[in-house]
Amino acid sequence: MIPLLVMLWVGCLACHAALQPARYRLPDLSARYRIVMGLVRGVAPALALGVALAAGVVVGVVLWCTTFSVAGLIVAACIVAWSMRRH
């Protein structure tokens, strides 16, 4: 369950960064991709919460929050690595 939660959060936060290309110095996206990414950014956290709550309310919320933190680090590290390769 934890890898799935992390993947969902990684998807959400990666789309969040991709939707702000100027801020994160990422390539611009076409309108179609922006719509899809917006959807992923909105739906993924809800999906992650639904998956996490299968382990119980308390454990589920704790899993949801902690996997968000880990996924954020992964996405930040990937953006840094990508920027360093590009430049």
Partner 1 sequence: MRETPMRETLRTRMGWLHAWVGFICGLVLTCICATGTLAVFDTEITRWMQPEIRIPTGTSPTDTALDAAAARVREQQARGVFAFLNLPSARAPALEILHYDGHEFVGDTLDPRTGALIATRATTGGKFFYNFHYSLRGGGTVGVGIVNILALGLLVAVGAGLIIHLRALVPDIVMLRLSGSRIRAWLDAHLLAGVLFMPFTVMMAYTGILVHADTILPAHLHVMTAPRARATAPPAQPAPLRPVMTHMRPLLDTARARLGGRDCGFILFLPDRLSISASDASGPFLTRDHVDFSLPDGRLLGTTVTRRPIAMTMHLIHGLHYARFAPPSLRWLYFMSGLGATAGIASGLVLFLMKRRRHSGHRAEFRVAEGLTIATIVGLPVGILSFLWANRMLPTGLPGREGAEITVFFFTWAACAMHGTLWSGIARPMRGWREQLVMVAVLGCGLPVLDATCTMAALRASPVLHAGIDGMAALFGLIALYSLVRLYREPVG
Residues that bind partner 1 (CB under 8 A): 2, 13, 16-17, 20, 23-24, 56, 58-59, 62-63, 65-70, 72-73, 75-77, 79-80, 83-84, 87
Query: 9: which 2 tokens?
Result: 């959060």
**What number of other Cβ atoms are within 10 A of residue 7's Cβ?**
15
- Measured from the CB atom, is 8 or 63 closer to partner 1? 63
Helix, strand, or coil (residue 26):
coil
| Minimum distance, C-beta of residue 22 to partner 1, in the bound complex (Å) | 11
Q: Based on CB atoms, which residue is closest to partner 1, 36 or 83? A: 83
Cβ proximity to partner 1, 31 vs 58, nearer residue: 58
Cβ 57 to partner 1 shortest distance, Å: 9
Q: Indicate left, alpha or beta for 67 from its phi (over 0: left) and psi (-120 to 50: alpha).
A: alpha
Where do runs of H (alpha helix) occur along the chain?
2-18, 21-24, 31-52, 57-86
